[in-house]
Amino acid sequence: MTQTKPALTSQTEGAPGEQVPSTQRVFEAVRELRAMEQIATRETVAELTGLKMGIVDDRLRSLVDDGKLKRLLRGIYELVEQFPPPRAISKTVLGNGAVVYDIGDDVITLSPQEARVLAELSLGAAGTAVLIHSTNQHLFLATELAAKVEKLERELKAQKHHGKGDARQMDILLT
């Protein structure tokens, strides 16, 4: 199976006679690779853009600093998802049970049944978020408890080794 290399589309080319900045060429190369579900390595980007490796490295670093790319591993990069600014959102429940959502300039009116389905779908995401938070809290507590148990075990071992303490307590420790 031969793997074809993506060619940069005309999106990266400016008007006739106009040069596209190297940073834009590098960014477009990473975008093209992602669109083709290929990994964006510094070598692949250099090959696609025709730029020298030093320039590619500099532009990749600049794009990471600007928040447009993230470095996954050494020499491997991925696009950062960028979303438009959030819009104002409001919800109104009408007397007949219908629900009106205002999202920016968009208005969505839902029947009571549709509103219940949307609520159930939203609760699924909220439930997942609660589960993740709860799991993180439990892991934190478990780690903290394990550290305390380990510390107590070291102290107990040291007391057994040195034979310090009340004789009655030492009898308990030795059993």
pLDDT in tens, 57-87: 999 999 999 989 998 888 888 888 888 899 9
Which runs of consecutive H residues, i.e. helices, occur in the chain? 22-35, 42-49, 53-65, 112-162, 167-174
CATH number assigned to the domain comprising residue 46: 1.10.10.10
Of 79, 106, 130, which residue sits at a domain end? 79
Q: Which domain holds residue 135?
A: 89-161
pLDDT in tens, 115-129: 988 888 887 777 778
Q: Which residue has the tokens 């070598």?
A: 43
110 and 61 in a common domain? no
Which pTM was predicted? Answer: 0.43
